[in-house]
Amino acid sequence: MRLTFATRPSALARWQTQWVIHALQKIHPHLECEEKIITTQGDKILDKPLPEIGGKGLFTQELESELLSGAVHCAVHSLKDLPVENPAGLTIGCIPARAEVRDALIARDGYTLATLPPNASVGTSSLRRAAQILSLRPDLRTQPLRGNVDTRIRKALDGQYDAIVLAGAGLTRLGLDSHVTEWLSLDIMLPAPGQGALAVQCRADDATTLELLAALENESTRKAVTAERAFLQGLGGGCAVPVAAYAVISDQSSVFSDQSSVISLTGLVISEDGKKVVKVIGQGTNALQLGHALAQQAIQNGADEILKPITNYQSL
């Protein structure tokens, strides 16, 4: 049996794909795997901030086209980059155990978020990160940051920015976490829905591939990220809006009569300037229902007024 994996050309995308391949081959020793490198629109357009070119599917559409055409069997994604709606005919075959969920700050001069001087520049490709930074430190300047992980770190170390903020999972996977000057706690920087998790996408009718991938499935991670992505879906947002969500799974609890594992979800919607914040917290046993219910609660608390100007701008 041979599986062909679609992957983007970046070092992180290749690492993630090779991790999945090696994990599968440990379980299925006779499985042969190969990679097909595909450059996405997000890889090509590097001179504009992500929100300006629209974040939805920027790093996934070309890989999904290869899947639908039958040219490849699987595509490995950072789950936070994957739109909440799967194209018809595709499914997430497995979600392995989640890695680091926190964001990390890197500063050449050893600054933390608290010690950065007034008017310091902080590079980030994410409206979510920029907004939460400004909520805590409105005196800072957030600036667009593009490129792969190595490029972004080099820009920080070269002094093009006073600091940058990146997803911690990518740094740990590439062995670059020694550059981190501060791990940002979840109290001050809530992650993107699905952050730290991988998703292996395949065709929904490919029973053989689905059976092979099932060995890497992590049930707790699947429940947590499903709740987070349901929150995002309920708000009608994509990957480039300032929405954060994080869920944890606890053991059986007497709080709920069916004794299922309890999902605790925190959701956040924040204005670009960090001045308006809607935060909701809830528990439940059904990930989809919990995420959608908290999204409705956030809308009732004013999330729509925060997101509408942003989504209207991105659709222009």
Model pLDDT, residue 239:
60
Domains in the chain, number: 3
24-49 per-position pLDDT tens digit: 999 999 999 999 999 876 555 555 55
Let me know whether 9 and 46 are in one domain: yes
C-alpha 201: how far from chain center: 15
Let me know whether 206 and 255 are in one domain: no
Note down the domain range covering 41.
2-96+197-217
Which CATH number fits the domain that encloses residue 251?
3.30.160.40
Q: Which position among 43, 81, 177, 205 bears the catalytic label?
A: 81
- Span 110-114, mean pLDDT? 96
Sheet holding 198-203, edge to edge: 32-37, 2-7, 74-78, 198-203, 90-94
Residue 315, token pair as written in the block = 């659709």
**Any idea which residue has 């042969």 for tokens?**
32
Which CATH number fits the domain that encloses residue 144?
3.40.190.10
Q: pTM for the full model? A: 0.90
Let me know whether 308 and 250 are in one domain: yes
Instruction: Reply yes or no on whether the pLDDT at 121 is more than 60.
Output: yes
For residue 176, is it within any domain? yes
199-211 per-position pLDDT tens digit: 999 999 999 999 9
For residue 142, is it within any domain? yes
**What would the DSSP string read from start to end of 38-51?**
---HHHH--SS-HH
Instruction: Reply yes or no on whether the pLDDT at 146 is more than 90.
Output: no
State how far the alpha carbon of 299 is from the alpha carbons of 96, 184, 202, 234, 251, in Å: 31, 27, 33, 9, 30
Let me know whether 176 and 32 are in one domain: no
**Catalytic: 103?**
no
Instruction: Reply yes or no on whether the pLDDT at 257 is more than 80.
Output: no
- Span 55-76, mean pLDDT? 85
Q: What is the dihedral of CA 127, 119, 136, 188, to 10 degrees?
A: 70
Let me know whether 91 and 203 are in one domain: yes
For residue 210, is it within any domain? yes
For residue 177, is it within any domain? yes
Q: What average pLDDT does the chain have?
A: 90
215-232 per-position pLDDT tens digit: 999 999 999 999 999 999
